[in-house]
Amino acid sequence: MLPLSASGDRRRLKALALVGALAFLAVACSHKSMKPRRTTTSQAPSTTAETTSTTESTTSTSTTSTTEPTTTTTSTTTPASTTTTSTTAPTGNAVTYDLADFTITLTSGAITAGMNTVTVTNTGHAPHEINFVRAPTAASLPKTANGAVDFAQVPMMDQLGVLRAAAGTTTTGVFTFTPGSYVALCNVGATGANPHVARGMFIELTVA
């Protein structure tokens, strides 16, 4: 009797377990079926939210671009102040030269390493210039057939620049020197028969 009743209880238990399992599955399925529904419902608002946020970002971008022109206006003001600064810069080391027919004479100061503000005054009758070239001596510079300096053969890094002055005028420029040997010369008349430098219009200088 006991084994029978026990087997009967087992059957009942199995049946209950099956029912329970089915019930669990049913609940689980209902949850699964509910979840997609909820997701679908929540997706719609999120899409709307995304659209709204896209609109907001577009609006904010246009606002930023509106601010950019203001920045451009500020940068327009900056070059003006920079120009003012460069006007103040020539207060470095002041050096003056006298350019005559056909000599270059240092009249005040001396070229030093760094920034130099050079002022040349042409007291002669011909137009003159002062070319600063890095070279050991004037004789070492490459020359054309008429004795003018052939700048086409002078390395660009050795050419510091030139100041030109018509007769009776004064010109100022800024030149940056590094220590070494230099030649200051006038190459006016380079294509003529008597270039100024060939007449001795040059001086040699050493920058410490």
HEC string of 96-165 equals: EEEEECCEEEEEECCCCCEEEEEEEEECCCCCEEEEEEECCCCCCCCECCCCCECHHHCCHHHEEEEEEE
| Listed ranges 21-29, 42-50, 61-69, 184-192: which one lies at the site for Cu ion (CB under 5 A) | 184-192
Each residue 188-207 as x (binds Cu ion by CB under 5 A) or -, in order, gives x-------x----x------
Is residue 29 classed as helix, strand or coil in its secondary structure? Answer: helix
| Listed ranges 47-55, 71-79, 123-131, 151-159: which one lies at the site for Cu ion (CB under 5 A) | 123-131
Q: By CB under 5 A, is residue 120 in contact with Cu ion? A: no
Give the helix/strand (H/E) hosting 181. strand 180-185
Q: By CB under 5 A, is residue 103 in contact with Cu ion? A: no
Q: By CB under 5 A, is residue 183 in contact with Cu ion? A: no
Q: By CB under 5 A, is residue 131 in contact with Cu ion? A: no
Residue 98 is encoded by which pair of tokens? 């006298």
Q: Which of 133, 149, 162, 186 binds Cu ion (CB under 5 A)?
A: 186
Q: Are strands 114-122 and 93-100 parallel, antiparallel or unpaired?
A: parallel
Residues that bind Cu ion (CB under 5 A): 128, 186, 188, 196, 201
